[in-house]
Structure 1
Amino acid sequence: MDKEAIKRILVRGPNWLGDAVMCEPALRGLRRLFPDAQIALLVKPAVADLFTGHPALTRVLTYDSKGCHAGLFGKWALAEQLRRQSFDLALLFQNAFEAAFLTFLAGVPRRYGYATDGRSLLLSNPVAVPDRRALNHQVRYYWDLLKPLGLTGDPPAPELVVSPEEEQAMAGRLAQGGLTANDVVVGINPGSTYGGAKRWLPERYAEATERLCRTLRESRNQQVGVVIFGAKGEERLGREIAARLSSPSLVLSGATTIRELMAALKRCAMLLTNDTGPMHIASAFQVPLVAIFGPTDWRTTSPFGSAHAIVRQPVDCAPCLLRECP
């Protein structure tokens, strides 16, 4: 491939928040391979804001599969929109047949993606799926997709960016909730949209948080506050845990945008969390964290890097990947 001829690149990003964070090192790797190309990232609305202002990207495109791009007519309209932008190369981090079909319809001449979901014939360059028995981390899975294009070395840890204005706005919001700039902030993320099997018990979250706050107060001689994170529908869970805490707390469950969530997680001195998207976001900001794993595979989707600890019970049935424990 003549890399100088590649002027416009389309990347189909993953659909889940955590997976999107884990593909971020590959985006920087792609930029390294094509420093002068325009790189557009196509993702679902829930993921798009994650990459606002990301230095590896020229722009972020939204694939609204439940809105204007729903159904066959919506997908055809999206393919036509992509066709008009004359992309030279498509990279498919999303594994579904649909991702290959859209870029095929859009007339992108070079289409790289893993040979999954029966889509090999729609890819100009299908890439062999790594041996799952090797248990490679998902960060490496995305990184290795670029090796046929010449990417070398090992992936770095994911990194995300928020603006100083976003950090200042969140600092003001925390102050309104009683947490000052001098406070040590402990974050807890007790929910999971994946399902109940990922959730540690709320009373244990409260007990562990109480002990952690007490230890931090004694060791740092500072006020310690707690921020409780969660998705819409998890507000009651957040309030239940907050009611058990003696430290000042602010429940942000269901009350943040993705950008606000990022700024709030970055402010934390530590995060106690289930295996969720916010776990990966915090890790991308180098926030030390303790992650509780149940049904999912800690070997492939744990926070990438060293500033974290994994807590799990080594039962025979794990990882089962079930959403609810039978």
Structure 2
Amino acid sequence: MLPPDPASVRALLVRANNWIGDVVLASPALHALRAHYAGARISVLARPRVLAALEGSEDLDEIIVFDDRGRHRGLAGRLLLIAQLRRRRFDLAVLFQKAFEAAALAAAAGARRRYGYATDRRGWLLTDPLAETDEIRSRHHAQVFLDLAAAAGAPAEDLALRFPLDARDRERARQELARAGIAETDPLVAVHPGASKTPRAWHPERFGQLAREAAKLVSGRVVVLGSAADAPLARIILDVSGALGVDLTGRTNVREMAAVCERSALFLGSDSGPMHVAAAVGTPVVAIFGPGRP
């Protein structure tokens, strides 16, 4: 079956992934959908934890928050969400998220065409299922999302990763850096020691050694980013690096962290969402990958 005629698609539903890094990797595919279905209203269904990677994006018209721990919890909550979706009368749904529930919600919402990978035993719920072969699983995640958008009729010409930042994010990051004693002219080496899974996290002592050498190269200072839980790692990194560095763990939200990365000369990290965010804002990245495919 051929993809829909763009002129026939007035409302398009995109199911976003549940992790910041995956949402960033899917951003070129979302941009391709926006370019191809320029006349459609694009609604993105997303969980609260990934909103920072979507709010302010020019490639969507609306974010529908999937509050699965609040108003959309349980059967009654899911029925409420389905009613919200049905009111929008979607002509097309593109499901970047691969779970059964994503396809079930799109079908229950009445989306006429439903594109997604035939994973999690959900192929029968999709009008246009794509087989996830070993060859596809071996591809970079960003390419997997691009292949799905292309199947839905939206081939990509612009492959750049995207992360929406605005002047407020940059100003809050500047203020946080200033409070830590960092001048606007100081070159920075940003370090994020956390990882999406513990086995993928590199040793903090080695990050400290790498940060020390990187800071010498750029004649700059080390800034350690992450959640408050990463503070013990930050102390080790700063102790080993011996550089004039600062610990910003627990002191920035995702968008402020992205703005610090944008301002940095280099980002050092493991396989994590912030690593993808740093790449999306144009910062040179050195990433250490552990078990798993990049």
Asked whether the two chains share a fold, i.e. TM above 0.5, the reply is yes
Q: Distance in 1 between matches of 2:41 and 2:246?
A: 41
Aligned residue among 4, 28, 32 for 2:7: 4
Matched, 1:267 2:263: yes
Shift of 1:152: 3.1
TM-score for both structures, normalised by structure 2: 0.93
Q: Distance in 2 between matches of 1:164 and 1:259?
A: 11
Q: Distance in 2 between matches of 1:27 and 1:114?
A: 16
CA contact (8 A) 1:178 1:248 kept: no
Correspondence 1:163-312 to 2 at 5 A: 163-195=166-198, 197-217=199-219, 224-298=220-294
Aligned residue among 102, 105, 129 for 1:102: 105
CA contact (8 A) 2:196 2:273 kept: no
Q: Distance in 2 between matches of 1:249 and 1:63?
A: 39
Q: Given the superposition, is the C-alpha separation of residues 40 and 50 from structure 1 closer, same or farther in structure 2, using an over 3 Å criterion? A: same
Q: Distance in 2 between matches of 1:139 and 1:154?
A: 13
Q: Distance in 2 between matches of 1:181 and 1:11?
A: 39
Correspondence 1:19-98 to 2 at 5 A: 19-98=22-101
CA contact (8 A) 1:53 1:161 kept: yes
Q: Distance in 1 between matches of 2:104 and 2:256?
A: 34
Shift of 1:270: 0.2
1:227-272 CA-to-partner distances (Å, cap 9, x unmatched) read 1112342222223322334333222223322221221211111011
| SS of equivalent to 1:141 | helix
Question: Structure 2: which 5+ runs fail to align?
Answer: none
Question: Structure 1: which 5+ runs fail to align?
Answer: 218-223, 299-326
Q: Given the superposition, is the C-alpha separation of residues 113 and 133 from structure 1 closer, same or farther in structure 2, using an over 3 Å criterion? A: closer
| SS of equivalent to 1:253 | coil
Shift of 1:278: 0.4
Identity across matched positions, percent: 36
Deviating above 6 A after TM superposition, structure 1's stretches of 4 or more consecutive aligned residues are none
* Alignment: residue pair count: 291
The letter for the 1-side match of 2:75 is: L
Q: Given the superposition, is the C-alpha separation of residues 228 and 40 from structure 1 closer, same or farther in structure 2, using an over 3 Å criterion? A: same
Q: Given the superposition, is the C-alpha separation of residues 110 and 133 from structure 1 closer, same or farther in structure 2, using an over 3 Å criterion? A: closer
The residue aligned with 2:128 is 125
> 232-241 vs 276-285, which deviates more?
232-241
